[in-house]
């Protein structure tokens, strides 16, 4: 919103000993954000009136002329393309160095080889209107050499551009008078009481006893919070005076005619929107405010058809609709050049409903954005009187007909807040004297009653609609006016206590560290949303329909992912273009849809992808995942798929499970992860040319527990151990784990450990496996007899299990 | 005799360096020092020599013997080194062909840049005695709005800001402030904690807007916590984050969950407050919202606002990441593109 400082000065004298910049900064720190400070109309002082004396065709351009003119002091020449140039015409001239609206500064330049000494201007170039079909032609009697500012009678102004976001909670700041009150409080200046009781009474004297030509009916269930109206006659539609046009332009509104301009002016002044009807269009002499009742179309002032729904509140007459309550009037009832009888409306509407309708229609107007902020019904009469006052000023012959109509008024409830200087000092951390507190509050129009240490604060109704609610709001008023930068920073008292990362956070960090430094993987982040298409591409059987977003940005982000696997596959497919092999991981989440009380559960998961164009990276991944469990002090098992024990991170029906390269990760007796080479049937669907191994590890169920370090130290053996290697024959596709399992059943108490020393493929059918068994007796040196017996037992056990010694 | 000795010495010195293997070295040794060796051959005449001659020749011979022995040990070492080195030469490898110069090698490894910054900031908070909390992405209306004093009619609840689920009661958290609520539910005051995490807004994405981004929420609740404490705390925190003394200022800002609420500006780090392009000539850059926790929020978290109060603040992590690394497009953060994350490699 733009604030005109000229306008503010109508109500309060601003300090003249500080710069504009400082003025803006202090206002920003105390009230709301001043985004920019601009001076308007400066260029109009530099633009002079000249008379065209000669026109020649540009030698190198058909459409351009060389226009010579008299500035009152000398003859000058510019290159000009305007079609309406004519000798003898008076036009505005901007010389080199002039900065025009839009920040465009004229510099010396040649146009098609001929130097141009400035510019003859059209209306839009001067910021005076929108016309650009030719030069602005001035009256024939305009004085040559006079500045355009003097000719038009415009004043230069200073504009504060206020960030609307910073005043969303302050309905009182959406008009100049409310802003002026802030300037007065912040700079300690008196505010002119322009809407005094006397002023009010003076205007009320204009009411007559005649029967009001228009009566008002407000249906109870509508969203109207109060409706005032009055009729006037004998008005003349004509242009507004220049000062009013200037102020409206400064605030970004286009001057139209005196009636419309006054309507806008009062809104910009009081912050309360209003509406002026051509009274002859009100059928049946009655305004009826009611719900739409049924869906229908309504044409608004801007000639757009609007789709209204049954619950929208409309302003109607006996026959038809004339406006959308709190948003915009209709085309039919608007002011025409011939209008002489008018009806003035000043009404209030419920914030949330105005907002809902305006958002639905995509129609945000100056009125609706004010009503959204919760306006004060108590101000309706004042703004209606102000309309009357300005209309009388503009059309002294105009008269009021009948008294003011007032109905359905829901006054803002009185609000008193109790506070104390001590409490304020404790919350701000800075002592402010009680007298100063009272002074600040009174400058903001609060009434304060001092009762010992207690301050009883009466909140002005226009701040009590939503903005001010309780003590902390009062404290804020004090804080911002004394200036937060005047508060001395003080360290909070720190208790002696220890802190450390939570168990869950530590586990997540350890996993990330491990993946970076041990697994040599890159960490990525991906969207936790997913589309149905990707789930289908990955043949993922769970679709998470319940966790679908109503307003997803795109179909591919329509729901929460039931698993990280499809996303990881998609990312693998994308990255294969740039790398022959890669490893990446995400410490992310997937989302489980639940039935009953709980709606869903975020599952904290590690997802890992190892990709290689040529070989299978499965073992590499497994060799990373296995030690990860030890690193996290977790006891885990890696086991083949088993129908009896379903895995929550891996639906049994998924076709991406590899026939041999698949293992469940089991922690604390529960499946919570997988290591899997993605079946080619799936990678093919992603056009992945290579091998993808993926691991998922879900830590949700145990991450909050303290995981104890269960490492146990065993004293180093005092006696030597003995190693025994033997080589057995096995089927080529028998996993070594089968052999190790046999060895685990070995009943030799001296056997300390069994490991595979070597595997050698003899043929397509057979391989040899060399097994190393370590024997140790912690009490004594092993005797050759004991050793021999133990070794024989090893060989016999293996043979019995179908693994004979290689001969 | 002395002369013969000298001649032998000369011969020895000339030939010893030509020895290149252990066998010839052994033979060479016995040729000179053996019983029937060249030295003894010369010394055979000693018996008939005079005492003087014996004395001088003996000394010279001993000296020569010693020289032979030392030379041979030296030569032996040289032969051994040469032998090992020629072995090593056979197993030569190109030590410049490291992983980082090869196409086929694994890519670099490292943390995501958001993780890097988030950890840095978490560690600062840990050092200041804050707990680090977390919460679900899928939240309910109560934790995201109601408990934060955001009424049902508040614009923030609109569909254009919030991702809603089909039941219209659950949503993707729009801010980490939900972690505040969960933190209050789980802790007895006094306490202080931060909650970093992903948040979601239903808005079109471009180079500087994301629908998923990262915030860090902070809260300190105790007895008589004041605005003066908040200013001090933020100044300390931000000086640590930016690794230099920073100036901050508070100005009024409206957020339903705090009262009074502030926008915290930081004196422009680029120009030091004199005005530049980055701060739009104002000398200040808007950095974060903060304020004194609204009593309704404390109440919703089960805390008596008559007894306790505190402050809260929110920090946008992605912006810090973008600032630190001069990242041109926020959408890279969630792209999963390894060419992007590879640039933040850990080693």
Distance from CA of B296 to the nearest CA of A (A): 11
Closest CA to B255 of B179, B162, B155: B155
Three-class SS string for A419-451?
EEHHHHHHHHCCCCCHHHHHHHHHHCCCEEEEE
* Cβ distance of B336 and A528 shorter than 8 Å: no
Measured between alpha carbons, how far is A372 from A378 in angstroms, rounded to an integer?
16
Distance from CA of B61 to the nearest CA of A (A): 55
pLDDT at B11 over 90: no
Measured between alpha carbons, how far is B347 from A35 in angstroms, rounded to an integer?
45
Measured between alpha carbons, how far is A295 from A265 in angstroms, rounded to an integer?
34
Residue of B nearest to A34 (CA): B282
Measured between alpha carbons, how far is B137 from B172 in angstroms, rounded to an integer?
6
Contact B186, B151 (CB under 8 A): no
Q: Which of B198, B227, B236 sits opposite A429 (nearest CB)?
A: B227
Examine residue A210 and state whether it is found in any structural domain, yes or no: yes
Q: Where are the domains of chain B?
A: 2-90, 113-344
Please enumerate in sequence order all residues whose Cβ is within 8 A of that of B328, keeping only pairs 6 or more positions apart, or say none. Answer: B207
Which of A23, A475, A476 to mutate against chain B (most B CBs within 10 Å)? A476
Contact B231, A491 (CB under 8 A): no
| B131: contact with A, CB 8 A cutoff | yes
Closest CA to A567 of A555, A556, A583, A579: A556
Mean per-residue pLDDT, B74-101? 90
**What CATH number is attached to the domain comprising A106?**
2.40.50.140
pLDDT digits (tens, 9 = 90+) for A505-514: 999 999 999 9
Distance from CA of B88 to the nearest CA of A (A): 28
User: Tokens in use for B44?
Assistant: 């055979």
Same domain? A27 vs A46: no
Same domain? A276 vs A386: yes
Same domain? A30 vs A58: no
Closest CA to A390 of A485, A290, A277, A258: A258
Same domain? A644 vs A775: no
pLDDT digits (tens, 9 = 90+) for A321-339: 999 999 999 888 889 999 9
Question: Which residues of chain B have a CB within 8 Å of the CB of A578?
Answer: 338-339
Same domain? A251 vs A357: yes
Closest CA to B202 of B174, B175, B177, B176: B174
Closest CA to A340 of A286, A401, A265, A283: A401
Contact A363, A295 (CB under 8 A): no
| B209: contact with A, CB 8 A cutoff | no
Same domain? A360 vs A383: yes
Closest CA to A244 of A230, A262, A228: A262
Contact A177, A269 (CB under 8 A): yes
Examine residue A414 and state whether it is found in any structural domain, yes or no: no
Question: Which residues of chain B have a CB within 8 Å of the CB of A582?
Answer: 106-107, 338
> What local confidence, expressed as pLDDT, does residue B259 receive?
92
Same domain? A354 vs A265: yes
Q: Residues for chain A: how many in total?
A: 807
* Cβ distance of A504 and B338 shorter than 8 Å: no
Closest CA to B42 of B24, B72, B64: B64
Ranges A195-199, A406-410, A759-763, B15-19: which has the least confidence: B15-19
Helix (H, G, I), strand (E, B) or coil at A335: coil
Examine residue A789 and state whether it is found in any structural domain, yes or no: yes
Measured between alpha carbons, how far is A338 from A181 in angstroms, rounded to an integer?
39
Question: Which residues of chain A have a CB within 8 Å of the CB of B264?
Answer: none
Question: Which residues of chain B have a CB within 8 Å of the CB of A552?
Answer: 163
ipTM: 0.86
Question: Which residues of chain B have a CB within 8 Å of the CB of A493?
Answer: 222
Closest CA to A640 of A620, A665, A677, A667: A665
Contact B106, A520 (CB under 8 A): yes
Residue of A nearest to B310 (CA): A427
pLDDT at A43 over 90: no
Same domain? A218 vs A177: no
Examine residue A717 and state whether it is found in any structural domain, yes or no: no
Domain count, chain A: 6
Q: Which of B109, B155, B229 sits opposite A520 (nearest CB)?
A: B109
* Cβ distance of A551 and B341 shorter than 8 Å: no
Q: Which of A355, A493, A580 sits opposite B155 (nearest CB)?
A: A355
User: Tokens in use for A713?
Assistant: 């130290």
Contact A407, A218 (CB under 8 A): yes
Measured between alpha carbons, how far is A205 from A399 in angstroms, rounded to an integer?
12
Measured between alpha carbons, how far is A277 from A286 in angstroms, rounded to an integer?
12
* Cβ distance of B106 and A571 shorter than 8 Å: no
What percentage of chain A carries pLDDT values higher than 70? 100
**Number of Cβ atoms within 10 Å of the Cβ of A643:** 6
Contact B236, B230 (CB under 8 A): no
pLDDT band, residue A439 (cuts 50/70/90): very high
> What local confidence, expressed as pLDDT, does residue A423 receive?
93
Same domain? A435 vs A546: no
Contact A424, A478 (CB under 8 A): yes
* Cβ distance of B333 and A525 shorter than 8 Å: yes
Measured between alpha carbons, how far is A452 from A306 in angstroms, rounded to an integer?
59
Same domain? A680 vs A758: no
pLDDT digits (tens, 9 = 90+) for A358-411: 989 999 999 999 999 999 999 999 999 999 999 999 999 999 999 999 998 999
pTM: 0.82
Per the listing, tokens 């993707």 go with: B172
Query: CA torsion angle for A300, A306, A310, A315 (degrees, to 10)?
Result: 0
* Cβ distance of B109 and A501 shorter than 8 Å: no
List the Cα angle A739/A742/A744 in 5-degree steps.
110
Question: Residue A17 burial by CB count (10 A; 0-12/13-18/19+): exposed, middle or buried?
Answer: exposed
pLDDT at B105 over 70: no
Per the listing, tokens 């016995």 go with: B30
Owning domain of residue A47: 42-153
pLDDT band, residue B12 (cuts 50/70/90): confident
Which of B129, B140, B254 to mutate against chain A (most A CBs within 10 Å)? B254
Examine residue A493 and state whether it is found in any structural domain, yes or no: no
> What local confidence, expressed as pLDDT, does residue B20 receive?
85
Residue of B nearest to A484 (CA): B250
Phi, psi at residue A555, to the nearest 5°? Answer: -60, -30
> What local confidence, expressed as pLDDT, does residue B106 receive?
66
Question: Which residues of chain B have a CB within 8 Å of the CB of A550?
Answer: 159, 163-166, 168
> What local confidence, expressed as pLDDT, does residue B346 receive?
84
**Number of Cβ atoms within 10 Å of the Cβ of B171:** 25
Which of A522, A552, A557, A604 to mutate against chain B (most B CBs within 10 Å)? A522
Measured between alpha carbons, how far is A738 from A111 in angstroms, rounded to an integer?
91
Phi, psi at residue B262, to the nearest 5°? Answer: -135, 155
> What local confidence, expressed as pLDDT, does residue A100 receive?
85
**What CATH number is attached to the domain comprising A557?**
3.30.930.10
Question: Which residues of chain A have a CB within 8 Å of the CB of B282?
Answer: 25
pLDDT band, residue B104 (cuts 50/70/90): low
**What CATH number is attached to the domain comprising A182?**
3.30.56.10
List the Cα angle A772/A778/A779 in 5-degree steps.
135
Average pLDDT, chain A: 93
Examine residue A649 and state whether it is found in any structural domain, yes or no: yes
Residue of B nearest to A545 (CA): B166
Distance from CA of B67 to the nearest CA of A (A): 48
pLDDT digits (tens, 9 = 90+) for A525-536: 999 999 999 999
A:B CB pairs within 8 Å: 233
* Cβ distance of B232 and A32 shorter than 8 Å: no
pLDDT band, residue B160 (cuts 50/70/90): low
Question: Which residues of chain A have a CB within 8 Å of the CB of B190?
Answer: 495
Helix (H, G, I), strand (E, B) or coil at A582: strand
Question: Which residues of chain B have a CB within 8 Å of the CB of A549?
Answer: 163-166, 172
Q: Which helix (H) or strand (E) holds A248?
A: helix A242-250
Please enumerate in sequence order all residues whose Cβ is within 8 A of that of A285, keeping only pairs 6 or more positions apart, or say none. Answer: A213, A214, A215, A318
Distance from CA of A302 to the nearest CA of B (A): 25
Measured between alpha carbons, how far is A516 from B314 in angstroms, rounded to an integer?
29
Phi, psi at residue A724, to the nearest 5°? Answer: -130, 120
* Cβ distance of B110 and A516 shorter than 8 Å: yes
Contact A693, A658 (CB under 8 A): no
* Cβ distance of B250 and A546 shorter than 8 Å: no
* Cβ distance of B231 and A351 shorter than 8 Å: no
**B113-344 belongs to CATH 3.30.430.20:** no
Contact B308, B314 (CB under 8 A): no
Distance from CA of A689 to the nearest CA of B (A): 16
In chain B, % helix, strand, coil (3-state, to 5) comes to: 45, 20, 35
Residue of A nearest to B112 (CA): A523
Mean per-residue pLDDT, B18-37? 85
User: Tokens in use for A386?
Assistant: 């102000």
pLDDT digits (tens, 9 = 90+) for A72-102: 888 999 999 888 889 999 999 999 988 888 7
Same domain? A536 vs A677: yes
**What CATH number is attached to the domain comprising A762?**
3.30.70.380
pLDDT at A412 over 90: yes
Cα A652 versus chain centre, distance: 42
Closest CA to B67 of B23, B29, B26: B29
Question: Which residues of chain A have a CB within 8 Å of the CB of B318?
Answer: none
pLDDT digits (tens, 9 = 90+) for A1-40: 999 999 999 999 998 888 888 899 999 999 999 988 888 8
User: Tokens in use for B235?
Assistant: 């100044």
Examine residue A192 and state whether it is found in any structural domain, yes or no: no
Buried b (16+ CB within 10 A) or exposed e, A720-732: eebebebbbbbee
Examine residue A311 and state whether it is found in any structural domain, yes or no: yes
- Which string of DSSP letters, residue by residue, matches A698-734? E-TTTTTS---------PPPSS--EEEEEEEEEETT-
pLDDT at B107 over 80: no
* Cβ distance of B126 and A519 shorter than 8 Å: no
User: Tokens in use for B334?
Assistant: 């969630």
Measured between alpha carbons, how far is A121 from A33 in angstroms, rounded to an integer?
35
**What CATH number is attached to the domain comprising A384?**
3.50.40.10
* Cβ distance of B336 and A526 shorter than 8 Å: yes
> What local confidence, expressed as pLDDT, does residue A281 receive?
93
User: Tokens in use for A267?
Assistant: 């809104």
Same domain? A88 vs A76: yes
What sign for the dihedral angle of Cα B82, B88, B92, B98? negative
Measured between alpha carbons, how far is A243 from A156 in angstroms, rounded to an integer?
10
Measured between alpha carbons, how far is B287 from B267 in angstroms, rounded to an integer?
10
Please enumerate in sequence order all residues whose Cβ is within 8 A of that of A451, keeping only pairs 6 or more positions apart, or say none. Answer: none
User: Tokens in use for B95?
Assistant: 């030590």
Buried b (16+ CB within 10 A) or exposed e, A203-236: beebeeeeebebebebeeebbbbbbbbbbbeebe
């Amino acid at each position: 919103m733009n604030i005109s400082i000229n306008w503010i000065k109508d109500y309060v004298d601003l300090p003249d000993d500080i710069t504009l910049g400082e003025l803006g900064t202090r206002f920003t720190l105390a009230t709301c954000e001043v985004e920019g400070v601009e001076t308007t109309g400066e260029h109009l002082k530099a633009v002079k009136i000249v008379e065209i004396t000669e026109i020649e065709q540009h030698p190198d351009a058909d459409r351009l002329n060389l226009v010579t003119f008299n500035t009152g002091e000398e003859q000058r020449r510019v290159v000009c393309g305007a079609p309406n140039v004519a000798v003898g015409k008076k036009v505005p001239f901007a010389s080199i160095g002039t900065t025009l609206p839009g920040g465009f500064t004229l510099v010396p330049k040649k146009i098609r080889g001929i130097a141009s000494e400035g510019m003859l201007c059209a209306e839009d170039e001067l910021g005076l209107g929108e016309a650009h079909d030719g030069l602005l032609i001035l009256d024939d009697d305009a004085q040559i050499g006079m500045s355009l500012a003097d000719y038009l009678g415009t004043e230069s102004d200073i504009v504060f551009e206020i960030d609307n976001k910073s005043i969303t909670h302050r309905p009182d700041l959406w008009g100049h008078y409310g802003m002026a009150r802030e300037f007065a409080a912040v700079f300690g200046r008196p505010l002119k009481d322009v809407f005094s009781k006397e002023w009010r009474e003076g205007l009320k004297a204009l009411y007559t006893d005649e029967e009001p030509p228009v009566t008002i009916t407000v249906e109870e269930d509508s969203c109207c919070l109060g409706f005032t109206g009055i009729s006037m006659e004998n008005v003349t539609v004509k242009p507004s005076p220049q000062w009013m046009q200037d102020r409206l332009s400064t605030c970004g509104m286009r001057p139209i005619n005196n009636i419309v301009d006054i309507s806008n002016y009062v809104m910009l002044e009081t912050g309360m929107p209003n509406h002026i009807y051509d009274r002859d269009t009100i059928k049946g002499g009655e305004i009826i405010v009611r719900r739409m009742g049924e869906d229908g179309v309504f044409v608004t002032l801007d000639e757009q058809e609007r789709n209204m729904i049954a619950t929208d509140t409309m302003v109607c007459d006996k026959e038809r609709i004339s406006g959308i309550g709190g948003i915009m009037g209709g085309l039919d009832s608007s002011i025409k050049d011939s209008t002489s009888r008018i009806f003035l409306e000043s009404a209030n509407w419920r914030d949330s409903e105005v907002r809902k309708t305006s958002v639905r229609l995509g129609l945000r107007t100056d009125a609706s954005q004010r009503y959204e902020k919760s306006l004060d019904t108590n101000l309706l009469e004042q703004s209606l009187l102000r309309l009357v006052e300005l209309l009388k000023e503009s059309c002294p012959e105009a008269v009021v007909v009948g008294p003011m109509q007032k109905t359905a008024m829901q006054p803002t409830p009185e609000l008193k807040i109790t506070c104390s200087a001590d409490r304020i000092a404790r919350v701000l951390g800075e002592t402010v004297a009680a007298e100063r507190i009272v002074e600040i509050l009174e400058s903001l129009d609060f009434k304060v009653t001092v009762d010992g240490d207690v301050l009883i604060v009466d909140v002005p109704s226009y701040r009590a609609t939503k903005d001010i609610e309780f003590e902390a709001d009062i404290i804020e008023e004090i804080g911002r006016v004394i200036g937060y930068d005047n508060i001395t920073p003080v360290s909070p008292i720190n208790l002696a206590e220890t802190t450390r990362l939570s168990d869950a956070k530590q586990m997540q960090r350890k996993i990330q560290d491990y993946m970076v430094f041990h697994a040599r993987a890159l960490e990525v982040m991906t969207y936790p949303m997913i589309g149905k298409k990707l789930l289908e591409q990955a043949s993922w059987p769970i679709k998470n329909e319940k966790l679908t977003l109503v307003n997803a940005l795109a179909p591919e982000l329509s729901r929460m992912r039931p698993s990280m696997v499809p996303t990881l596959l998609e990312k693998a497919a994308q990255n294969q273009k740039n790398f022959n092999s890669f490893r990446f991981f995400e410490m992310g989440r997937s989302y489980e849809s639940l039935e009953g009380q709980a709606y869903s559960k975020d599952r904290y998961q590690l997802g890992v992808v190892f990709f290689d164009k040529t070989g299978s990276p499965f073992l590499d991944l497994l060799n990373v995942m296995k030690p990860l469990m030890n690193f996290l002090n977790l006891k885990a098992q890696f086991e083949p798929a088993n129908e009896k024990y379903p895995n929550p991170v891996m639906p049994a029906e998924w076709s991406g499970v590899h026939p041999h390269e698949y293992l469940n990760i089991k922690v604390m007796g529960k499946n919570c992860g997988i290591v899997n080479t993605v079946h080619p049937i799936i990678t093919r669907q992603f056009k992945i040319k290579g091998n993808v191994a993926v691991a998922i590890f879900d830590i949700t169920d145990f991450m909050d527990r303290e995981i104890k370090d269960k490492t146990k130290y065993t004293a180093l053996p005092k006696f030597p151990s003995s190693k025994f290697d033997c080589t057995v024959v096995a089927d080529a596709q028998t996993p070594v784990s089968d052999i190790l399992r046999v060895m685990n059943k070995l009943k030799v108490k001296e056997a300390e450990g069994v490991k595979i020393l070597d595997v050698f493929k003899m043929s397509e059918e057979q391989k040899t496996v060399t097994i190393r068994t370590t024997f140790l007796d912690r009490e004594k040196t092993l005797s050759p007899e004991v050793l021999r017996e133990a070794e024989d037992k090893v060989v016999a056990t293996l043979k019995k299990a179908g693994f004979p010694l290689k001969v | 005799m002395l002369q013969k000795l000298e001649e032998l010495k000369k011969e020895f010195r000339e030939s010893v360096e030509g020895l290149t293997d252990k066998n010839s070295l052994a033979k060479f040794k016995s040729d000179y020092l053996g019983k029937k060796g060249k030295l003894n051959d010369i010394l055979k005449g000693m018996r008939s020599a005079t005492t003087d001659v014996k004395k001088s020749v003996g000394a010279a011979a001993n000296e020569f013997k010693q020289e032979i022995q030392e030379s041979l040990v030296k030569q032996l070492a040289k032969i051994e080194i040469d032998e090992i080195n020629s072995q090593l030469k056979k197993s030569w490898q190109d030590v410049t062909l490291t992983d980082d110069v090869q196409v086929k090698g694994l890519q670099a490894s490292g943390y995501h840049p958001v993780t890097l910054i988030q950890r840095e900031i978490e560690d600062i908070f840990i050092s200041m005695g804050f707990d680090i909390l977390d919460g679900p992405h899928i939240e309910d209306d109560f934790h995201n709005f109601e408990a934060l004093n955001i009424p049902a009619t508040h614009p923030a609840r609109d569909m254009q800001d919030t991702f809603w689920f089909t039941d219209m009661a659950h949503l993707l958290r729009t801010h980490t402030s939900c972690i505040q609520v969960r933190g209050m539910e789980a802790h007895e005051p006094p306490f202080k904690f931060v909650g970093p995490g992903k948040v979601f807004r239903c808005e079109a994405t471009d180079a500087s807007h994301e629908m998923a981004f990262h915030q860090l929420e902070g809260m300190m609740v105790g007895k008589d916590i004041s605005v003066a404490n908040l200013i001090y705390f933020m100044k300390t925190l931000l000086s640590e984050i930016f690794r230099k003394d920073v100036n901050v200022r508070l100005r009024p800002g409206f957020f339903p969950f705090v009262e009074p609420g502030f926008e915290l500006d930081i004196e422009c780090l680029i120009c030091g407050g004199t005005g530049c392009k980055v701060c739009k000539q104002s000398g200040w850059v808007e950095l974060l919202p903060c304020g004194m926790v609204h009593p309704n929020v404390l109440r919703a978290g089960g805390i008596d606002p008559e007894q306790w109060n505190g402050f809260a603040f929110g920090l946008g992590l992605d912006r810090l990441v973008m600032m630190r690394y001069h990242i041109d497009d926020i959408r890279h953060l969630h792209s999963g593109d390894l060419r992007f994350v590879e640039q933040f490699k850990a080693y």
